[in-house]
Structure 1
């Protein structure tokens, strides 16, 4: 199944559909891969007295629901930071959302913001782990450093840094957009949650970078 809004990326004999909603559908495994939703971050800031629209995270979950309905994955892999910091009322929204898809196996690769007790995630229906592996790939939260570019010779998928790329116009105009980054040994997904920033990555000869522009994914 393909969508007009999907950019197909053939990689290591597998087919990955890069989606403008900042997610990846792995076709052979019928798996949706997303990173850094940061559900609860809005509630965290609102508790501190900062007026941020409560609907932001509900809209993110609605977008994720639409992707599940469209692509019908058997599995969803969250590359960490599913829930942001301490528990608040936004946790209830996440629990209710999870209950809409009891047939979908959901794996949370623990991120640095996923600090709630493991029991909370398991009771909500998420399988939580430090790392998820297949024969070819390893799924982690944080990108590996220069001295750790391999995990048992597997290609690594991660999130955490919210990658973006800067586009420059003819004058001094510039625009930073979210992107998918594929390097020699690891890929980094953009943050799915909208209440996040971006960290600019370099586009090198050995990397493939795909930006998200006007609801489309384009190779940079």
Structure 2
């Protein structure tokens, strides 16, 4: 179920797959997909099922179909490391996706910019639109609200006794929102919210505010 929120008078939709949609601009924000990570680990002997390679692309198709955005902006770490066979899958995905695709460069994005240019993917260090700016690492900028990734945020919820569950989340503070990692083969980092923070946890197909 999609969660609708307001930030600085603008409507945004949070998707349980981990993407965020800016309604007015028809921009879909997605962070930390880490394409190629499965192939990278398989290359070095990790017992990861081959079908996991296609999972991210299936989920990308799903979220794009749900929002039909004019533009998709990846907030860094689109690819996990150097070029591998998953690049061909990405080329095919971009070719059949009607949305414009933009990449904010992350610390893992080491593939040559020319490769992205060849498939009409624009690449930026950061991008500012109206009173919002998009980065990979969280940043503070006076007068602007930051959408970012990198952290792979999660929240720990305590149960009875010593039991707890750790859930990926959208983590919103006064001037920024950190998106969860979209990639299915990524870890998370538990954050401790302050009273002024808003946390939107993801469980199965639901989003709920903590």
The 5 Å alignment of 1:57-72 reads 57-72=53-68
- Contact 1:22-1:189 within 8 A present in 2 as well: yes
Q: Which runs of 4+ in 1 moved over 4 A?
A: none
The 5 Å alignment of 1:7-22 reads 7-22=3-18
Aligned residues: 210
- Contact 1:57-1:193 within 8 A present in 2 as well: no
Task: Show the counterpart of 2:82.
Answer: 86
From 91, 104, 107, the counterpart of 1:112: 107
- Contact 2:153-2:171 within 8 A present in 1 as well: yes
What is the rounded CA distance, in whole Å, between the counterparts of 1:25 and 1:201 in structure 2? Answer: 23
Structure 2: runs of 5 or more not aligned:
none
Q: TM-score, normalised on structure 1?
A: 0.92
The CA deviation at 1:64 is: 1.1
Q: TM-score, normalised on structure 2?
A: 0.97
Corresponding position: 1:159 with 2:155: no
The CA deviation at 1:213 is: 1.3
What is the rounded CA distance, in whole Å, between the counterparts of 2:2 and 2:117 in structure 1? Answer: 32
- Residue by residue over 1:160-201, the C-alpha shift from the partner in whole angstroms, topping out at 9 and shown as x without a partner, is 010000011021111111000111111100000010001011
The CA deviation at 1:126 is: 1.0
Task: Show the counterpart of 2:183.
Answer: 193
Task: Show the counterpart of 1:203.
Answer: 193
